[in-house]
Amino acid sequence: MKISKFPLILASLAVAGLLSSPVSANADGMELVKHTRMTTVYKDPGADLSGYTSFILEDASVAFKKNWRRDQNRESLSLASKANEKDMQRIRDKISTSFREVFVKELTAGGYQLAEKPGESVLIIRPAIVNLDVIAPDLKTASRNRTYSESAGEMTLNLELIDSLTNDKVVIVRDRKRDLGYGYVQWRNSVTNKSDAKRMMKSWAKSFREALDDAKDAVRQ
């Protein structure tokens, strides 16, 4: 495999040495090449990303952190300000839509084509956002209360890269990302929450696009 550098998706970390000397292998025969508190990466021993020029991006599934709604509503002063299932679904839909927008924009700007069906050079991208923790959600309530916090929250991306013809998993990445804020509290609403979420997603998308670029550059050398 001629991959001299493979930046960690979401973390922009080079793991060239790790690719040639895996730490261990999981039950599916994939090699564990990186495991930290924030990031875990598995790869197929024969994986080579250099041949992929197009991609199919599946819609990102979104799941909240366990007991998120209960914890949010514990601090609510009235029934009108409590989060309900409609609020949660609206947030899920916005996160999934933003993820698609960010990844498609980054990859197509980098020269990769959005495909409609499997093909020899087509990579399936299967994302799942889990442990979503929106600290100050902008709920659709009649009240005019403002919510302030230092951080927008956090989310974890589970990403599977799959060969579209063989349906084999090429790479599996799990990366946790938390908004560290600016060191002071600020007003949180749907606009600021979307902006903060997209900032984290752009970091993931850029690292992923760079990984594909690096694989192709390594083959040319």
Q: With respect to CATH, is domain 51-215 assigned 1.10.238? A: no
Six-digit token string for 44: 């197929």
pLDDT for 182 equals 52
Q: Which parts of the chain register pLDDT below 50?
A: 1-25, 27, 142, 144, 146, 148-151, 183-187
Report the alpha-carbon distance of residue 177 to residue 156 in Å, rounded: 6
Q: What is the pLDDT of residue 180?
A: 60
Could you give the CA distance from residue 47 to residue 168 in angstroms, rounded to a whole number? 10
Residue type at position 205 = A
pLDDT at 26: 56
CA 22 to chain centre: 23
